[in-house]
Amino acid sequence: GFVLLPRRWVVERTFGWLNHSRRLSKDYERLMSSSEAWIYLAMIRLMANRLV
């Protein structure tokens, strides 16, 4: 049956924030390192917007 995981909403919320970046909504990158770099850029932009 359905088992509620205790902190799953934190991960799902983060994925939701990442999907606001158009480039991260699909997997366009060939290399994992470039995908990781775009994720870092998206999170940096999110944190910078919150600091302003």
How large is the C-alpha radius of gyration of the chain? Answer: 14
The tens digit of pLDDT for each residue in 3-37 reads 887 888 888 888 888 888 877 777 777 888 888 88
**Cα–Cα distance, 10 to 7 (Å, whole number):** 6
Note the pLDDT of residue 26.
Answer: 75
Q: Where are the domains of the chain?
A: 9-51
d(CA 18, CA 13): 9
CB 40 within 8 A of CB 34: no
Quote the CA–CA distance of 29 and 36 in Å, as a whole number.
10
Query: Which of these, 48, 50, 41, 52, lies nearest to 18 by C-alpha position?
Result: 41
